[in-house]
Structure 1
Amino acid sequence: MFHLQDLELLHWDYCQRVSMPLDAAIITIAGPNGSGKTTLLDALRTLLGLECSGGRTYKTYARHANAETAWLRATVDNRPRHRQNSSRPFASSLLYDDHVTIACRIERHGGDWQRRYLLVDGVQTIEQLAERPDKDAMGIEGWKRRLEAAGLTRAIGRVLALEQGQTDRLCELSPRELLRLVFEVFGDQEVLDRYDLAKSHQQQLEKEVVQGQQELAHAQAQLAELSQRVNLYKSWQMRVSERERFSTEVLPVLQWADARAATAREARELHRQRLQLAGEEHLQADARKALHDTFEAAEAARRELGSLAEQRTAARKAFDETRDAERPLEDVVKHAEALQALAAVEGDTADLQALLTTLADRQRQLRAEYTRAHDASSKAQAQLAALKGQPVPPPPPEVSRFRRVLQEAGIAHHLVADAIDIADEAWRAAAEGYLRGSRWVVVLQNPSQEREAYALAAKERFRHYVVADSEAAPAQGPKGSLLAALRVSQPLPTWLLRALASIRCVASTADGSGVDWITPDAYYRDPRGGRSLFVPPAEHQFGTAATDARRKALEGEWGRADAELARIAREQAEVDRQLKDAQKAAAGHKAAQELGEKAAEFSEARERLPQLRAARVEASSRWTQLDQAHAQAVKDADRAERDYQALQQRLKASLDHMQALRQGFEERRGQLRAASRASREARAAFPAGWVTPPRIAALREEFGSIQQAKLALHHVERELESGTWETDHQVIDRHVRMDLQVREQQRMLDDRRASNEAARIASRNARERYIEVLRATLRRYRKNVQELGELAGVVALADLPHLDNDDTVLAQAGLHVRFSFDGKGEVGLNDGEASGGQQVLKSLILLVGLMKDDDAPGGFVFIDEPFAHLDVRNIQLVGHFLKSTRAQYLLTTPITHNVEVFEPSDITLVTSKKTRGERWAPPIGVIQRRRENEIYG
């Protein structure tokens, strides 16, 4: 290591320009507190690229000078330690002069300060250095590397940076820290650090391997994902191919095959229709002949009816004439008989009064009968008038009123009577009888209005059911059931539909079995027993036929009522006449006298009355026979007319049917020709191999029918629409590239893992061999400590630690040094048993032992106030020890009355405080000891 020879400061702190010699073994900087002793050491520390003490920086001192530029310059020796020039401290910087100038230039750079370093051969002044180009200057990191190459290691730099009062800090280090410091000073720690760096590098490589494994796993996952995407793409292609096959081959071919089969069936059906048309033509000829015969029979029946009508009219006229001729004589005879009866009692007042009473009672009775007959006639007339223009009989008034209430409330509904018609008239009596109690059931169209309808029914006291649970009747009820005999146009209550479907229609009671049944004349049997449900035709309700039946029944009732009125009127006239005669007799009129006066008239009437009665009876018999014959002729004529109309309708229907068949035949034949032509054209558009019978059979075996093929196509399309697919065809290329990349990553990872393992083994083996070098270094340091201890009169022993090629052992190893002062026993580094002077000696021994090198002696040390708190004896011991070593020391000490602190010094630099009001501090005084021979370095 090099030595310092002189130092020059320009604009450093409060020093304007100061030069001082340092070419001595021990230099002492003395001065009062605050006079700049530490300032000089900080100048050297800044010049050597070290940190200043006390939290100060080079910027602090540059600002105190208040100049644009500050310079620190020193001359150091560069003499070789051996014959070779390479042993010069700065030989690595290609400087081979015996003296080398080092300098630090501090300049104001903007609002901050910047330092640059210079290293030149020979002795040069600040002015000469200022003229050098900027490219020769270097930064702090480059400067530290240059000084480390010259021997100023970072560990020594740490020692040189010890602050005031910290001289004994080395002995305060722990064994582990001391061992590390020894290795740092002797360069072994750098090797260990490189081994650690190599190990870190290996660990980093292992992390990279792990990361590579993760990347490989990620790439493999990506490859798996790409494989899945490739599979999805292939599946998608397969689905697309299936869809294309369905669209281009399967569906068109199956549709063509089905259409071809349908065309064949149509051809067979057309042939059958042609045969049916021929049969219909033969049947139509027979129907025309039958119609002609029926027409002749109807004409004959009409002619017979006309003849009988004329004869009946003539017989009726003869009957009326005989009746008109008989009636006056009958009245005269009855009058004579009444006079005779009156004559028999006119003498007896009591009998006459009884006769008057009897006739009066009979008169009143006939009046009552007349009123009843008249009411019946009026009722029949009113009901006939109500039926006029009505398709069905009207409902009762209370039902009509409730329906109006529902309509006003906006509740849609219908009646059971409106929803049912009788399809089979043979079972009208049975249906009318069973449904009589359900005619006026109200069926709601909207079940949500049930509560509102119930409330209105309760308010109106409507005694029929209101039903919300309804359903539509089937198109055809169960065969043989009462429901099958009905035609239902609107929904019915569910319970009513079930009941109608469960009732069997039987021809008679003898045909009834254990189930519910009913006969055509409305005799009904259920689990409770049997009873008749017959309803008179006048009360029929369902369908237009019910209206006709009710109208005929009402017309009959009206006719019977009118006949009864005529009879009662004739009887009333007779009773009135008899009553008048009896009243006359009671008034004194003599019946016998009238009998005598009209005896000839009464006698002639009695003689002629039997003849006229016989003529009337004969005319009545003749008229009755002709009327019966006329009624039968009417029936025969009506039957013949109905037969004729039925045959005519059947013939017309047959003609229409035949025309429809002929038209349908022609249309189907045209469609068949077009279908055949289209089938041939479609077959020509297909490849020949698609329409062969084996291929079509294979398609049918694979897909079944065209509907199943469409379902399969729909399934494929739904999979394509809703499924997750890969449609990018480049995914296959990416999969191939990713597969190659994964293979390459796997190969590189295997190679890196193998090379890293080999490097780890080689590094471990090399470090294991280097452990011997560490042991040699420690033996060397132990030897230095022991020799320095002998020079200081102290027994210094160092226990070599156990070193092994193991990170834990090396990390926990420590250097234990024991000292023995004045034979008082051994003390450790910092066990608290040594005095202050002994602490200083221990630190100095440890410090100088770091720099002691028999092959390359030299070096310098900054010790700030090493004699603080020491007595005279310890000052002498420390001074003797410093003089006995071969290093260069820069010491500081305050002005003290103890001159022993200056005894070892070769040069003493005296500093003074800056005078108040002055810009610069006073010059530094220099005291140099005269010696004839001075040997150091």
Structure 2
Amino acid sequence: MFHLQSLELLQWDYCQRLTLPLDGAIITVAGPNGSGKTTLLDAMRTLLGLDCSGGRSYKTYARHANADTTWLRATVDNRPYGRQTSTRPFARNLLYADQVTLACRIERNGGDWQRRYAMADGDVSIESMLQLPDKEWLGVEHWRRRLENAGLSRAIARVLALEQGQTDRLCEFSPRELLRLVFEVFGDQEVLDRYEEARRHQRELAAEVEAAERELTHGQAQLATLEARVNLYRQYQGKLRERETLATEVIPVLNWHEERQATAGKLRELHRQRLAARTQRRQRAEDHARLLRLLQERQAAAATVLALEAERHEAQKLQAQARDAEKPVEQLVAHAKELMALAAVEADGAELARRLEQLEQQKAAQDEQWRELSAQRKDAQGALDRLQGQRQAPPPPEVQRFGRTLRQEGIGHHFLADVIEITDEHWRAAAEGVLRGSRWIVVLDKPADESRAMALAERERYRHYVVADAASAPAQPASDSLLAILRFSAKAPSWLLRQLSNITRVADTQQGVRQGGEWITPQAYWRDGRGGRSVWSDPGDYQFGAAAMAARKASIEKRLASLDQQLTELAVQQSAVQRQHAAATEASKGHLAADELARRGEEFELARRQLPALTQARTAASLRWDALDKEHTTAVAANTRADGSYLALQKQLREAEGDLERHEREWGGRLEEQRGRAAGSRAQKKRFPAKWIATAVVQALYHTYTNAKQAELRMGAVQGELDTGHWETDPGVVDRQVLMQGTVGKQRNELDSRKASNSAAEEAVGNARERYIDVLRATIRRYRKNIVELGLLAGVDVSADLPHLDNDDTVLRQAELKVSFNFDGKGQIGLNDGEASGGQQVIKSLILLVGLLKDDDVPGGFVFIDEPFAHLDVRNIQLVGHFLKSTRAQYVLTTPITHNVEVFEPADITLVTSKKPRDARWAPPIGVLQRRPAPV
């Protein structure tokens, strides 16, 4: 690298014109702060095409001169460097003289400043440089490349641009930055250029691949967009076709077919109804015949009842006559027995008094019993009187009252007892027992009346259920269920129907236990989910149907007969007690029973002989009456059943005839209507193409759409999608998609070709990288040798670790050059670990800096160091100065004049600057002190 020999400034800052010698190893620029030391260094930097320090600019210095042109000129050494080569620094710039002139011309160009550079062989003055043609003047970039050819690399340019007080900047570099700087200074430029060119070419190819990929991605995105639009277009066309098919084919065919099927079904139903009506007519004829038989049975039963009533009445008369004949004789015999008993005690007054008292007590007890039996008979007779003229047992008063209230409020209803008929008398006890608690349930005709009805029930404190959820009884319940023996003329609570259908009728409890579940016996023993219990009720409490009325009457009549018999027997007993009491009273008055016995002995004896025959006659008459009474009761029950069956069948026939007549009228109208529809369906069928109504086609339509309603809903949905969806309606999008497919295919082929070229470039980069790594290893070894030698000169133990290098850009980017220093045997310290003193920092940076310049084969080079001795003590100044003198580089140093004089000791040339006086135009000239050469 070349050395500086002289520097000339013309109208630079506040320097009018001056020439300074620089032909020395160490040049020291001394002066007070603000006297222009950094200005002088910035002039050298500007001349070398570098940036000024501290944010300053060459334009600032040109404006301070207040002239149109500013010149910077330097002479540099161009002699061959090194003992083993004759190459001159500027030989590549075609300059071969021992001296070369470098010039920078700064001119005002409009409102701005512009710098131009030129170089020439020899020592050429500024005036002579003016004669150079314009083509010899270079811009700053071309100028920097010319200086790089002369050895001023960009890395050294970075070092030369160090600012004031930052001499230790190199030791602040990271190991990775230091390795990069070393290679940029020492590396084989050709290898580096070849590697960078390969990398650049590969990056360009990679960029082309990325660009091609982006273009392909963009094309694919466009193709995807077009495909989506084509898909939307095809979907749109499909929707239109589907709507047209639905409107013109599917819905009409399905409507026709469904109507046809419905018409055929209705015609089949009408046929079944006709057959059912025929069956009903036959059944009605059979029912009429059965009604005639029931009438005959009813008449025969009524005749039997009349005959039995006459016979029973005659038997009752005979019984009364026998009783009338027996009664006085029986009384006479009893009186004789009483007289005999009284005669036994009449001699004893005390015993007679006790007998009289006992008879009085019996008389009082019999009187009380008579009153009770009379009251019971009166109640029974009243109940029987109330049943006279009634076909059904009357409800209790509270039920009658609540029924009137509902009718007054206009709430339609019926009681459950009014609508149930028990059809099998064998199971009446069981049915009455189960239904006993449900007799007076109120079933509303309209569920909407539930709220009002319940409000009334709450007010009246009605204790039975009010039900709105009612249903008709099933037509064919399970044959063994309790529901099967019941006939309902109106709706009943749904829960009650379910309960009755779940109760099975069994013969006895043993069968029920074996069978399990819920069951009941004819004797009303009921087993449900809670267990078994008897629900037997007295026939006098039966409620459901006309037979219940007869059973209730018979029960009351039987009760009256029993009461009459008890009253009769009680009357006889009262008469006997009355006679005994009267006799005892007479005996107490002195009338002796023995006298009466003696007086009436023959009469009493005759009565005793007659009484057995009379008793036998009365007994026979009673047995005859009992038998006839039982036959009469059975005949009455049979008559009642026959009457009920006749009336029920008569009512059923009357209702069936009305239903049949109404059905026949409606059936005829419906038949005509369906015939008209069938004719319309046949006419519509002729308008359809044959393939539309083929069986397989119609079945496929049903498989797809289920029915015509679903097809209509589908058409509505399709129309809604067409109205609200975002569709593509342009048919040209299909052609654009085909063109874009071709474009994307072409882009894909281009991408494959560029990827192949990129692979080849990656291989070339790998080869260049291997050569680059070889040069890098040699460069690091060379730099390590330089800093170790420089460390010996400075008395510092310097070591450097060779980095791991591999043929991989990532490894190379992460490679580091770790340098450590050992001052005075105090241990190793790194580049910037904060353990070094100020002077040691300077020594470290200078070793690293000069190591970049040191070359045994190519000596030379120069460095600008702004205030290297700042903040150093005398000892460190001496160490730095000794180190600078021991190297072979050229240094331009700045230092304030306030420093220790030791700073001037190593200098060959000292330039002394002064501050510009306040009113002066130019700064004072720079003083020059040059050290005399030592005598030989």
Q: TM-score range by the shorter chain?
A: 0.5 to 0.7
What's the CA shift for 1:104?
3.7
The farther-off stretch of 650-659 and 684-693 is: 684-693
Equivalent of 2:749 in 742, 747, 750: 747
What's the CA shift for 1:736?
6.3
What's the CA shift for 1:656?
0.8
Distance 1:222 1:481, change over 3 A: farther
Q: Is the 1:117–1:143 Cα contact (8 Å) retained in structure 2?
A: no
SS in structure 1 at match of 2:691: helix
Superposition pairs of residues 264-663 of structure 1, within 5 angstroms: 264-271=264-271, 273-274=273-274, 277=277, 350=346, 363-364=363-364, 366-377=366-377, 380=380, 423-429=422-428, 431=430, 478-482=478-482, 484-485=484-485, 500-501=503-504, 503-505=505-507, 520=522, 536-538=538-540, 540=542, 549-550=551-552, 552-558=554-560, 560-562=562-564, 564-565=566-567, 568-569=570-571, 572=574, 576=578, 583=585, 587=589, 645-646=647-648, 648-663=650-665
Distance 1:420 1:228, change over 3 A: farther
State how far apart, in whole Å, the 2-side matches of 1:185 and 1:165 are.
23
Distance 1:156 1:350, change over 3 A: closer
CA deviation map 1:48-102 (0-9, x unaligned): 33255xx655469959997778974134689999xxxxx999999xxxxx98852
Structure 1 portions without partners, runs of 5+: 82-86, 93-97, 398-416, 443-470, 596-615, 786-800, 815-831, 853-858, 883-887, 930-937
Q: What one-letter code is carried by the residue in structure 2 that aligns with 1:350?
A: E
Q: What one-letter code is carried by the residue in structure 1 that aligns with 2:115?
A: Y
Q: What one-letter code is carried by the residue in structure 2 that aligns with 1:10?
A: Q
Distance 1:865 1:877, change over 3 A: farther
> In the alignment, which residue of structure 2 is the partner of 1:20?
19
Q: Is the 1:36–1:913 Cα contact (8 Å) retained in structure 2?
A: yes
1:260 and 2:260 aligned: yes
Distance 1:759 1:381, change over 3 A: same
Q: What one-letter code is carried by the residue in structure 2 that aligns with 1:192?
A: L
Distance 1:166 1:297, change over 3 A: closer
> In the alignment, which residue of structure 2 is the partner of 1:195?
195
Superposition pairs of residues 34-433 of structure 1, within 5 angstroms: 34=32, 39-51=39-51, 56=54, 58=56, 72-75=70-73, 102-104=104-106, 116-119=114-117, 144=144, 154=154, 157=157, 189=189, 192-193=192-193, 195-203=195-203, 205-206=205-206, 209=209, 253=253, 256-257=256-257, 259-271=259-271, 273-274=273-274, 277=277, 350=346, 363-364=363-364, 366-377=366-377, 380=380, 423-429=422-428, 431=430
State how far apart, in whole Å, the 2-side matches of 1:435 and 1:664 are.
41
Q: What one-letter code is carried by the residue in structure 1 that aligns with 2:104?
A: I
What's the CA shift for 1:751?
0.8
> In the alignment, which residue of structure 1 is the partner of 2:914?
913
State how far apart, in whole Å, the 1-side matches of 2:150 and 2:852 are.
23
Identity across matched positions, percent: 35
What's the CA shift for 1:923?
2.0
CA deviation map 1:469-489 (0-9, x unaligned): xx9999566433456446895
Distance 1:748 1:593, change over 3 A: same
How many residues are matched? Answer: 756
Distance 1:187 1:250, change over 3 A: same
The farther-off stretch of 232-241 and 357-366 is: 232-241
Normalised by the length of structure 1, the TM-score is 0.53
What's the CA shift for 1:553?
1.7
Distance 1:295 1:139, change over 3 A: same
> In the alignment, which residue of structure 1 is the partner of 2:8?
7
State how far apart, in whole Å, the 2-side matches of 1:719 and 1:651 are.
58
CA deviation map 1:365-387 (0-9, x unaligned): 64244134224325646877999
State how far apart, in whole Å, the 1-side matches of 2:560 and 2:426 are.
27
CA deviation map 1:637-674 (0-9, x unaligned): 87886676456424412321321221231232133124
Normalised by the length of structure 2, the TM-score is 0.53
Distance 1:496 1:350, change over 3 A: farther
Q: Is the 1:540–1:549 Cα contact (8 Å) retained in structure 2?
A: yes
1:689 and 2:691 aligned: yes
Q: CA RMSD in A?
A: 8.4
CA deviation map 1:833-855 (0-9, x unaligned): xx99x999x98995796589xxx
State how far apart, in whole Å, the 1-side matches of 2:551 and 2:305 are.
25
Distance 1:249 1:554, change over 3 A: farther
State how far apart, in whole Å, the 2-side matches of 1:523 and 1:120 are.
137
State how far apart, in whole Å, the 1-side matches of 2:218 and 2:883 are.
71
Q: Is the 1:373–1:561 Cα contact (8 Å) retained in structure 2?
A: yes
CA deviation map 1:434-454 (0-9, x unaligned): 8599999x9xxxxxxxxxxxx
CA deviation map 1:814-872 (0-9, x unaligned): 9xxxxxxxxxxxxxxxxx9xx99x999x98995796589xxxxxx99979999x97999
State how far apart, in whole Å, the 2-side matches of 1:157 and 1:579 are.
167
State how far apart, in whole Å, the 2-side matches of 1:427 and 1:141 are.
131
State how far apart, in whole Å, the 2-side matches of 1:435 and 1:741 are.
92
Q: Is the 2:377–2:563 Cα contact (8 Å) retained in structure 1?
A: yes
Distance 1:148 1:562, change over 3 A: same
What's the CA shift for 1:634?
8.0
Q: What one-letter code is carried by the residue in structure 1 that aligns with 2:425?
A: A
Distance 1:180 1:271, change over 3 A: closer
Distance 1:377 1:178, change over 3 A: closer
What's the CA shift for 1:17?
2.0
Q: Is the 1:79–1:89 Cα contact (8 Å) retained in structure 2?
A: no
State how far apart, in whole Å, the 1-side matches of 2:670 and 2:54 are.
118
What's the CA shift for 1:741?
6.2
Distance 1:7 1:586, change over 3 A: same
State how far apart, in whole Å, the 2-side matches of 1:498 and 1:345 are.
69
Q: What one-letter code is carried by the residue in structure 1 that aligns with 2:654?
A: K
State how far apart, in whole Å, the 2-side matches of 1:349 and 1:769 are.
168
> In the alignment, which residue of structure 2 is the partner of 1:757?
759
State how far apart, in whole Å, the 2-side matches of 1:650 and 1:876 are.
146
